[in-house]
Amino acid sequence: MGKDPFSGYPRKVELPIYAVAATAFSFPMVMKTAIELDLLDIIAKAGPGGSLSASQLAAQIPKGQQP
Protein backbone atom coordinates (compact mmCIF):
# COMPACT_ATOMS: atom_id res chain seq x y z
CA MET A 1 0.00 0.00 0.00
CA GLY A 2 1.02 3.58 -0.53
CA LYS A 3 1.92 5.98 2.21
CA ASP A 4 -1.00 7.83 3.77
CA PRO A 5 -0.76 11.41 2.47
CA PHE A 6 -2.35 12.78 5.64
CA SER A 7 -0.05 11.08 8.15
CA GLY A 8 2.10 13.42 10.15
CA TYR A 9 -0.70 15.89 10.85
CA PRO A 10 -1.94 16.29 14.42
CA ARG A 11 -5.00 14.09 15.08
CA LYS A 12 -7.36 17.07 15.45
CA VAL A 13 -6.34 18.27 11.96
CA GLU A 14 -6.21 14.81 10.38
CA LEU A 15 -9.88 13.87 10.87
CA PRO A 16 -11.36 16.97 9.16
CA ILE A 17 -9.00 16.39 6.23
CA TYR A 18 -10.41 12.87 5.81
CA ALA A 19 -13.97 14.28 5.98
CA VAL A 20 -13.21 16.79 3.23
CA ALA A 21 -11.61 14.10 1.09
CA ALA A 22 -14.66 11.82 1.48
CA THR A 23 -16.99 14.67 0.55
CA ALA A 24 -14.89 15.57 -2.46
CA PHE A 25 -15.34 12.05 -3.83
CA SER A 26 -19.04 11.59 -3.03
CA PHE A 27 -20.46 14.93 -4.20
CA PRO A 28 -19.78 14.38 -7.93
CA MET A 29 -21.40 10.93 -7.76
CA VAL A 30 -24.49 12.31 -6.02
CA MET A 31 -24.82 15.09 -8.60
CA LYS A 32 -24.40 12.64 -11.50
CA THR A 33 -27.17 10.44 -10.12
CA ALA A 34 -29.48 13.41 -9.49
CA ILE A 35 -29.00 14.54 -13.09
CA GLU A 36 -29.55 11.04 -14.50
CA LEU A 37 -32.81 10.70 -12.54
CA ASP A 38 -33.97 14.20 -13.60
CA LEU A 39 -34.32 15.19 -9.94
CA LEU A 40 -33.25 18.75 -10.69
CA ASP A 41 -36.07 19.13 -13.25
CA ILE A 42 -38.60 17.63 -10.83
CA ILE A 43 -37.53 20.08 -8.11
CA ALA A 44 -37.63 23.00 -10.57
CA LYS A 45 -41.21 22.11 -11.57
CA ALA A 46 -42.26 22.48 -7.92
CA GLY A 47 -41.48 26.18 -8.25
CA PRO A 48 -39.55 28.58 -6.04
CA GLY A 49 -41.88 28.20 -3.05
CA GLY A 50 -42.57 24.51 -3.54
CA SER A 51 -41.20 21.79 -1.36
CA LEU A 52 -41.18 18.06 -2.00
CA SER A 53 -40.61 15.17 0.34
CA ALA A 54 -38.33 12.29 -0.61
CA SER A 55 -41.36 10.09 -1.35
CA GLN A 56 -42.89 12.79 -3.57
CA LEU A 57 -39.63 13.05 -5.50
CA ALA A 58 -39.39 9.27 -5.84
CA ALA A 59 -42.96 9.04 -7.12
CA GLN A 60 -42.13 11.44 -9.95
CA ILE A 61 -39.05 9.58 -11.22
CA PRO A 62 -39.95 7.96 -14.56
CA LYS A 63 -40.54 4.22 -14.07
CA GLY A 64 -37.83 3.16 -16.53
CA GLN A 65 -35.17 4.94 -14.46
CA GLN A 66 -35.93 3.47 -11.04
CA PRO A 67 -33.45 0.83 -9.90
Structural contact between residues 6 and 17, judged by C-beta atoms closer than 8 angstroms: yes
pLDDT at 54: 92
Amino acid letter, 44 = A
CA 7 distance to own-chain centroid:
27
What is the residue-averaged pLDDT of the chain?
A: 81
Report the pLDDT averaged over residues 8-37: 81
Angle, alpha carbons 62-64-66 (nearest 5°): 75
Report the pLDDT averaged over residues 53-64: 88
Query: Would you place residue 16 in the very low, low, confident or very high pLDDT band (cuts 50, 70, 90)?
Result: confident
| More confident call, 66 vs 28 | 28
pTM as predicted: 0.57
